[in-house]
Amino acid sequence: MAHDPSVSTQTEHGATRQLSRFLARTSFDDIPGDVISRTKHLILDGLGCGLLSAKLDWSIRAVESLRALDGNGAASVWGWGVKVPPMSAALLNGTFVQGFELDDYHSLGPLHSEACALPAVIGTAEHLGGINGKRLLEATVLGFEVGPRIGMAMGGLQLVSRGWHCGSVYGVLSGVAGAGKIRGLNEEQFEDAIGNAATQACGLMSAQFEAMVKRMHSGMAARSGVLAAALADAGFTGIKRVLERDFGGFAATFCGVDPFDLTRLTNGLGQQWEVLRISVKPPYSAMGGTHSAIEAAVKLRATPGFNVDRIKQIKIGTTEAMLHHGGFKLERPAAAIGAQMSHCYVVAVTLLDGSPSVPQFAPDRINSDDVWSLLERITAYNDKEIDSRGEDGRWGTRLVVTYVDGKTDEVEVEYPKGGAKYPLTNKEIVQKYDRLAALVTTKKHADDLKQIVLDLENCRDIAELSRLLSIDVASPFEKR
């Protein structure tokens, strides 16, 4: 068969090969110190979110189902005293991290990197054994880096507007980058691994309304990463040039008629680190796109003479994508997943309680009469002016309030705390971890885990990390 040199050139310089080369060649010593430090704090945040959610109802059902199917293995189920195979662990632990809407996001390439990458990395490392902290950090950095980049390249929230759950679509690349790096894949193997992962991508945004399976989407991405990397390591070939192919390619197929730009994935690899722009949420148990609405409600509640009984109507103005994501009308009785995604619910409960944290999403609080009385007066709409601000301004939210006496008020928040413009500091991330961990475990356990994570580069073997992750925790709704 004749060889077409143009195909070789196209392959060598395409996005898939550039990414594969970066993943294979980047080592711990190539990663700047501030990126390593931020990654350790992101790991701590992810583990705190995961442990908090480990014994919630849907988590228990998932663990029981997966253990019955897959049995025992070498990888920890976080917050449980059991071990399962690495694919099961990645799915379960990813479900935990994303299990109560407390985890990270990236404002331009929306993705829960902690839930997609971290379970894939740790599960693979435990399966292989003998992995030190530097290797774990190296792999986690790369997993965290890749996901937001492909998200930006594919337009991020445009996928949500079309009904895809973007994290479980391109989160597979985050998972496979981390799992593949733990396995030490070379450039060619990484291209196969990326192809193996990309063909597993899926996730329907209609899961946000009431389904438990929405909690699993990022875990599914993590599991796909574990499988894809293991297959490539065994010589099982994947789709070549999968990111850039026109027919059946990853970007072209998922984006459809919408624009995408794969240079946003590849430009600045190893020089400009998206890890540093991953946002860590304050302790709000709600979808990141609602956080500006939450802060606007906090401002409104703080105005002199505020009284919810004086409110006739509240209109929540947001972008079209955010309206699709969280502007739907809840139906009573509501489940936690719908409430956590709902602009209207988080505004109502913030005005009543002052904050939408863990207690505000307990079943009895969600369906309280005072919440639903206020919800009947709140609607969401597409604010065209906020839409006109473009990509950087899409996190803004406007509350337009009408009172029973006819007076009106308007409160706007352009950028929420925790987002790219006002990120949580590393100290604030530690404070959040302490607060979440205190709800489900002892101070000693929480402190021991924190200490090993924040000193990971000096950890000779992650066996102690695995032990601490395997300690039984409680539900945050249990009285302890």
Whether residue 219 sits in one domain with residue 311: no
Say whether pLDDT at 165 is over 70: yes
Same-domain status, 270 and 302: no
397 domain residue, yes or no: yes
CATH code at 156? Answer: 1.10.4100.10
Query: What pLDDT does residue 107 have?
Result: 85
- Rounded Cα distance between 114 and 384, Å, is 32
pLDDT of residue 149: 97
168 and 263 both lie in a single domain:
yes
Q: What is the CATH number of the domain that holds 373?
A: 3.30.1330.120
CA 44 from chain centre, in angstroms, equals 14
Q: What's the confidence (pLDDT) of residue 3? A: 37
User: Based on the domain organization, do 149 and 294 belong to the same domain?
Assistant: no
Lowest-confidence range among 48-62, 105-119, 202-216, 365-379?
202-216
- Burial code (b: 16+ CB inside 10 Å, e: under 16) for 375-410 equals bebbebeebeebbeeeeeebbbbbbbbeeeeeeeee
Q: Does pLDDT of 10 surpass 80?
A: no
pLDDT tier at 325, thresholds 50, 70, 90: confident
Per-residue confidence band for 480, with pLDDT thresholds at 50, 70 and 90: low
Residue 447 domain-assigned? no
pLDDT digit string, tens, across residues 243-257: 999 999 999 999 999
Q: Tell me the pLDDT band of 11, cut-offs 50, 70 and 90.
A: low
3-state secondary structure of 21: helix
What mean pLDDT value characterizes the chain? 94
Count of domains observed in the chain:
2
Per-residue pLDDT of 448-467, as tens digits, reads 999 999 999 999 999 999 99
Residue-wise pLDDT tens digits, 338-373: 899 999 999 999 999 999 999 999 999 999 999 999
Tell me which of 413, 443, 461 is where a domain ends: 413
- Judge contact between 99 and 59, C-beta under 8 A: yes
Q: Give the Cα separation of 260 and 157 in Å (integer).
A: 12
**Residue 284 to residue 292: CA distance in whole angstroms:** 11
Residue 479 has pLDDT above 80, yes or no: no
Do 272 and 356 sit in the same domain of this protein?
A: no
Assign 3-state DSSP to the chain and report helix, strand, coil percentages, each to 5.
60, 10, 35
* CA dist., res. 286 & res. 294, Å (int): 9
Is 357 within the bounds of a domain?
yes
Q: Is 296 part of a structural domain of the chain?
A: yes
Looking at the fold, whether 61 and 104 belong to one and the same domain comes out as yes
Confidence of residue 9 (pLDDT cuts 50, 70, 90): very low
| Percent of the chain clearing pLDDT 90 (strictly above) | 85
Mean pLDDT for 136-147 is 98
* Domain enclosing residue 128, as ranges: 5-282+452-469
DSSP readout, 214-281?
GGGHHHHHHHHHHHHHHHHHTT----TTTTT-SSS-HHHHHHTTS---THHHHTTTTTS-GGGGEE--
- Which SS3 state, helix, strand or coil, does residue 420 take? coil
pLDDT at residue 133 tops 80: yes
Same domain, 228 and 367: no
Tell whether 474 is covered by a domain.
no
pLDDT reading at 235 higher than 90: yes
Q: Are residues 340 and 373 in the same domain?
A: yes
- Tokens describing residue 437: 């961990």
Q: Distance between CA atoms of 179 and 121, rounded to whole angstroms?
A: 5
Look at residue 309 in the predicted model and tell me its pLDDT: 95
| pLDDT at residue 55 tops 90 | yes
Helices (H), 129-186: 133-153, 157-161, 166-182
Task: Mean pLDDT check: name the lowest of 157-161, 167-171, 292-296.
Answer: 157-161
**What is the DSSP track for 317-362?**
EE-HHHHHHH-SPP-SSPPHHHHHH-HHHHHHHHHHHS--SGGGGS
Shared-domain flag, residues 270 and 293: no
Report the pLDDT averaged over residues 90-118.
Answer: 95
Judgement on whether residues 133 and 263 belong to the same structural domain of the protein: yes
Same domain? 322 vs 271 = no
pLDDT surpasses 80 at 32: yes
Q: Flag whether pLDDT at 2 surpasses 80.
A: no
Residue at 159 is within a domain: yes
Higher pLDDT, 129 or 212: 129
Q: Are residues 141 and 211 in the same domain?
A: yes
Task: Quick: pLDDT tens for 366-387.
Answer: 999 999 999 999 999 999 999 9
* 126 lies in some domain: yes
Residues 176-233 have pLDDT tens digits of 999 999 999 999 999 999 999 999 999 998 888 878 998 999 999 999 999 999 999 9
Give Cα 413 distance to the centre of its chain: 23
**Looking at residue 229, what is its pLDDT?**
99
pLDDT-derived band of residue 167, with 50, 70 and 90 as boundaries? Answer: confident
Asked if 98 and 115 count as a contact pair (C-beta separation under 8 A), the reply is: yes
pLDDT, average across residues 96-125: 95
Q: At what angle do helices 15-25 and 166-182 cross, to 10 degrees?
A: 40
pLDDT surpassing 50 at residue 7: no
Residue 432 lies in a domain: no
